[in-house]
Amino acid sequence: MLLLLAGASYLAAQGTGLRLFFHLSYLLLGLLLLASLWAWLNLRGLQIRRELLSPRATVGEYARERISIANRWFIPKLWVELRDESELPQHGAGFVASLSGREHGRWLARTLCTRRGRFRLGPATLVSGDPFGIVSFGRRVASSNEILVYPRSELLPSFHLPGAELAGGQATRARSFHSSPNVAGIREYAPGDSMSHIHWRSTARIGRLMVKEFELDPSADIYLVLDMQERAVVQDTRVDLRPPEDVRITHPWWERQQSESVVEERYLPSTEEGSVVVTASLARTLLTQNRIVGLIAWGQHREVIPAEREARQLPKILEALAVLRAHSTHSLAEVLLAESARFGRDCTLVIVTSSLDERWVGALQQQLYRGVRAVVVLVDPQSFGGWHDPEPILHRLAELRVPTFRVRQGEPLEESLRAPLRFEKDTEMRK
């Protein structure tokens, strides 16, 4: 508009010969140049630093990011706006600042995590302009971080699995990287081996450091088998369900939450998210009970975490569950058959699925014939708005005497997994 007005004034001056129009055109052009210079200088000498205070969070917790901006010049900055381009939902890291010469400013962005996954924080764009709002320039800041949001998980004290000790108490003929009472043999020391594993008699006899190798404990391996087939997912489209709201936006300032406590959240938009929450909760509970737990899930990629009991096992499972998506074309029956070599008489399967296709029950029956124990957690697709009735597949599992739990939308998870379903009367009537 200034350019158009300056051009119109110059043409009017040429046509009328009045010096007022000449002065007006020069004034408008000068104002435009001054505003452009002001906006350009406002973006010079600025340094942005982003610091993620917690690189990992859980759904329902707050992710905190500290953003620092420093004015390295003696020229004050009247106003500078930071426009954030993060992928984390509801991440409000943007702000408007006014800095004096050689001044530093810091802002803390707190974001309620509502979705699991891996998200990028940043980059950002610095925007500034002149006091009249005539010209505004932007400068992209490439600084960025990454945050991993774990799925929500609960500790289920009432959930217990039956033991599955090996017959005769014999050890499993498989190497273990962790100490156990059963020594399988010795080998040469490698960097990273624990000093407590050194076999000193063999070391003294051979003249080189030798370490012990162990066999697995004779206790049952538990594999959490998560069904991530895309066709089995039921999306809840009911309008009365809403994602959790950030109290900092909806509540007045005197009711806003200041603590870092976990926000209770039971909203599950699909059976996919319900299955992930169930699997994460079971992994936390079983590892707390000192059980040997692994994970098998075929999502957008094949994810297999061998069964272990180490302290690092729970973060490994949660990291895998954070990024897994139900994009698999393989059915649960195909997964059970493909991974059957891992399952033996010393193994217990905990199958978490929302599939009502009875073919996977037939694949599970083959594993039961081999002596594998199984527990099924059915995330009820009908409670998520599905059309098909899960009762037939529940009766089929009852006929095989497989302990089965049923998880419904909106029902407390601890209540759903307190005790398996009972179908003794119906099974006797069928017989």
Give every strand in the sheet of 77-84, ordered side by side. Answer: 95-99, 77-84, 124-129, 136-141
Count of Cβ atoms closer than 10 Å to residue 295 Cβ: 26
In terms of DSSP bridges, do strands 136-141 and 124-129 run parallel, antiparallel, or are they unpaired?
Answer: antiparallel
Alpha-carbon distance of 208 to 43, in angstroms, equals 64
Would you put residue 20 in left (φ > 0), alpha (ψ -120 to 50) or beta? Answer: alpha
Q: What is the pTM of this model?
A: 0.76
**Helix ranges, 298-423 (H):** 313-323, 332-338, 359-369, 391-399, 413-416
What whole-number distance in Å separates Cα of residue 329 and Cα of residue 73? 58
Q: What does the DSSP 8-state code read for residue 197? A: G
- Asked if 383 and 409 count as a contact pair (C-beta separation under 8 A), the reply is yes
Distance CA 311, CA 148 (A): 19
- pLDDT, residue 192, reads 72
**Residue 429, H or E segment:** helix 424-430
Handedness of CA 313, 318, 319, 325 (dihedral sign): positive
Quote the pLDDT of residue 429. 43
| Residue stretches of the chain with pLDDT short of 70 | 162-184, 214-219, 238-267, 423-431
CA distance 232 to 230: 5
The radius of gyration computed from the CA coordinates of the chain, to the nearest angstrom, equals 31
Residue 128 CA, chain-centre distance (Å), reads 35
Cβ-count burial of 163 within 10 angstroms (0-12 exposed, 13-18 middle, 19+ buried)? Answer: exposed
Instruction: Show the CA angle centred on residue 58, arms to residues 55 and 60, nearest 5°.
Output: 130
User: Per residue in 258-283, pLDDT tens?
Assistant: 444 444 445 688 999 999 999 999 99
Cβ burial of 16 (10 Å; 0-12, 13-18, 19+) is exposed
Q: How far apart are CA 220 and CA 166, in angstroms?
A: 7
* Dist CA 431 CA 426 (whole Å): 9
Residue with tokens 């210079």: 37
**Residue 418 to residue 166: CA distance in whole angstroms:** 27
Helices (H), 112-222: 200-206
User: Can you name the residues that pair with 295 across neighbouring β-strands?
Assistant: 224, 305
Give the per-residue pLDDT at 10.
80
Q: Give the three-class secondary structure for 335.
A: helix
The pairing of beta strand 347-353 with beta strand 373-379: parallel
Q: Please report, as a single letter, which amino acid is at residue 79.
A: W
